[in-house]
Amino acid sequence: MARPCCAERTDGRQLRSPFSRVIATGYYDGSTEGFTDCDTCRTVYEFKMLDWDEGQDIRVFKVEEKAGALFDELVEVISTEQDRPRWPIWVPRSPFPVAAEKRIHDLRSKVAGARFLIATEDPTKRILVWRSLGPDEVVEDRGDWLKALGVGSE
């Protein structure tokens, strides 16, 4: 089943995910932070969990576009002979190679392009809520984001 391109995604609920590959640099019963790319246009995004429900199933992530980044290049520097990528979710073993740590640091410090919030159990699966963020919209790491996005209260 073809996935929609991230560029076509508008705010809404119960949407198909544009993402099919996740590098989870943080994992706790599911991804907590990492990188993903659009299956169609290959735009790279960094994501970070802001909130989760009591069962830690539904999670809210802040997602930021990292323009010009190449996902395959990131995969290349993180993977080792003993730790080959696996999709849809790859949790690379730490410590990462030095070159990978540097690449990840560079990506994290890159100015974000498009920014949005998603609520989902898994960024590669059904997106319960997708909401765009304005360029100057401040997003606190702490907060009841599930409630703010109207998830779990229906």
How crowded is the C-beta side of 48, counted as CA atoms within 13 Å?
9
Cβ distance to Zn ion smaller for residue 5 or 77: 5
- Name 11's Cβ contacts closer than 8 Å, sequence gap at least 6: 130, 131, 132
Q: Cα separation of 81 and 24, whole Å?
A: 18
Question: Which residue's beta carbon is nearest to the bound Zn ion?
Answer: 38
Give the three-class secondary structure for 36.
strand
Least separation in angstroms between residue 4's CB and Zn ion is: 8
Helix (H) or strand (E) holding 104: helix 98-109
Smaller CB distance to Zn ion: residue 67 or 139?
67
The least CB distance from residue 76 to Zn ion, in Å, is: 21
Question: How many alpha carbons fall within 13 Å on the CB side of residue 152?
Answer: 19
Least CB distance to Zn ion at residue 94 (A): 29
Q: C-beta of 45: minimal distance to Zn ion in Å?
A: 9
Residues in contact with Zn ion by CB under 5 A are 5-7, 38, 40-41
Q: Nearer to Zn ion by C-beta: 40 or 79?
A: 40
Q: Among residues 6 and 24, whose Cβ is nearest to Zn ion?
A: 6
